[in-house]
Structure 1
Amino acid sequence: MGLGAPEIILIIVAVLLLFGGKKIPELMRGLGKGVKEFKDSQNGVSETLAPAPVRTEEKI
């Protein structure tokens, strides 16, 4: 059981009625920023868990 075309259209109409046409771009922009921050934080966590390369300075 999946979503068909009538169900998707009904969901879109309900969202338009609840939020209005002007509010939807703001909601999508906020959602995009949230997803970007989530991905950035995942990358940051993996970088902090991985050991940093050790730099050694050679004296000539």
Structure 2
Amino acid sequence: MFGLGMTELLILLVLVLVFFGAGKLPSVATALGRSVGSFREGIRDAEAIDVTPGNDERKD
């Protein structure tokens, strides 16, 4: 997962606990999950856009 091993993930979890505290951790995790979902949806929408070059019908 993103090139992170178990040790790095544990250190990251401890840092998050120190910065946000155990009481705020569920809301932080929820916000992070929603952000990731929104990011994935944006990527999916961007892939659906047709970006093939075509005739540019602008009048100068």
Normalising by structure 2, report the TM-score: 0.55
Distance of 1:9 and 1:19 partners within structure 2:
15
Segments of 4+ moved more than 6 angstroms:
none
Normalising by structure 1, report the TM-score: 0.55
Give the length in aligned residue pairs: 49
Amino acid in structure 2 at the alignment position of 1:24: L
Cα 1:26–1:48, aligned 2, differ >3 Å: closer, same or farther?
same
CA RMSD, aligned part only?
2.9
% identical aligned pairs: 24
Bigger helix fraction? 1
Q: What's 1:29 paired with?
A: 30
* Contiguous gaps of at least 5 residues in structure 2: 53-60
Distance of 1:10 and 1:32 partners within structure 2:
20
Q: How does 1:1-60 map onto structure 2 within 5 Å?
A: 5=7, 11-49=12-50
* Contiguous gaps of at least 5 residues in structure 1: 52-60
